């Protein structure tokens, strides 16, 4: 089995592939104070709960946007499974030209998403990833990573509102019954959710106008299932896009 690890600012997602099939997926909090041993214990317990033995894992690949967690994740793989993981970064073969001014500035997750989305779309594509930040990544018809947009994520935008407005309560991020809220909770939910839908559609429409050609628009990430159905521009949702991209990069780097 292939172990793929997507290290984000809020969560770490582990995936286990058997061939092209994602057999298991585990999500844990990105606790920066944990050691490699602690991560190894947690992951091995999760694997055992699902009947996966350490000996079944024969390779691993990691994409991390949290530098302080990259080494612990690498050590986790070595200690728990006895394997040397691949790390997405400079030197790894992506099969995709990076047209960013400084390719080293592009987050590993953005490249991984772009690779998976282009493989899926077979042409120009925009990936909207709803993570701690919401990113919009553009891939050309030739399969080149062009660049994109980084916006504050919906959760941190909401958290800022809760923290800075003393009389407003903390509310669940959920679609309200109507746009016009008749109470404080629904009014806040309307502003957070529909306001964010407006942000997403506005950015995608501007990207499409600037690119000058049609693009598939694929969403992924935690709140994609909430925003995508309300969006005019998002065409499909793939919650496992990053994990699939890691599998593809592993395959492209087999010796």
Q: What burial class does residue 167 get, using C-beta atoms within 10 Å of its C-beta: 0-12 exposed, 13-18 middle, 19+ buried?
A: exposed
**243 in Cβ contact with 25 (< 8 Å):** yes
Which strands make up the sheet holding 133-139, listed edge to edge?
A: 145-152, 133-139, 125-130, 216-221, 236-237
Q: Which residues contact 203 (CB under 8 A, 6 or more apart)?
A: 136, 149, 151
Give catalytic status of residue 71 as yes or no: no
**99 in Cβ contact with 146 (< 8 Å):** yes
Angle at 223 between CA 63 and CA 151, to 5 degrees: 70
Q: Which residues contact 80 (CB under 8 A, 6 or more apart)?
A: 40, 43, 44, 54
Q: Measure Cα distances from 16 to 54, 68, 240 in Å.
A: 11, 23, 12
Catalytic-role residue among 58, 71, 109, 137: 109
Residues with catalytic function? 109
């Amino acid at each position: 089995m292939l172990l793929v690890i997507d290290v984000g600012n809020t969560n770490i997602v582990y995936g286990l592939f058997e061939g092209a099939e994602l057999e298991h997926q585990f999500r844990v909090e990105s606790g920066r104070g944990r050691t490699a041993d602690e991560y190894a214990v947690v992951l091995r317990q999760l694997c055992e709960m699902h009947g996966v033995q350490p000996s079944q894992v024969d390779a691993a690949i990691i994409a991390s946007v949290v530098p302080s967690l990259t080494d612990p994740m690498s050590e986790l793989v070595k200690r728990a499974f006895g394997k040397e993981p691949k790390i997405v970064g400079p030197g790894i073969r992506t099969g995709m030209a990076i047209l960013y001014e400084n390719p080293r500035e592009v987050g590993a997750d953005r490249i991984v998403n772009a690779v998976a989305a282009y493989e899926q779309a077979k042409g120009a594509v925009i990936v909207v990833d709803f993570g701690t930040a919401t990113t919009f990544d553009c891939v050309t018809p030739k399969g080149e990573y062009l660049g994109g947009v980084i916006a504050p994520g919906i959760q941190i935008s909401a958290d800022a509102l809760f923290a800075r407005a003393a009389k407003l309560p903390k509310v669940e991020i959920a679609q309200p019954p109507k746009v016009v809220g008749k109470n404080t909770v629904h009014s806040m939910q309307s502003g957070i959710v529909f306001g964010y839908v407006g942000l997403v559609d506005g950015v995608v429409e501007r990207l499409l106008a600037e690119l000058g050609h049609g693009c598939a628009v694929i969403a992924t990430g935690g709140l994609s299932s909430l925003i995508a159905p309300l969006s005019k521009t998002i065409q499909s949702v793939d919650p496992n896009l990053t994990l699939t991209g890691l599998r593809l990069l592993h395959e492209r780097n087999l010796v």
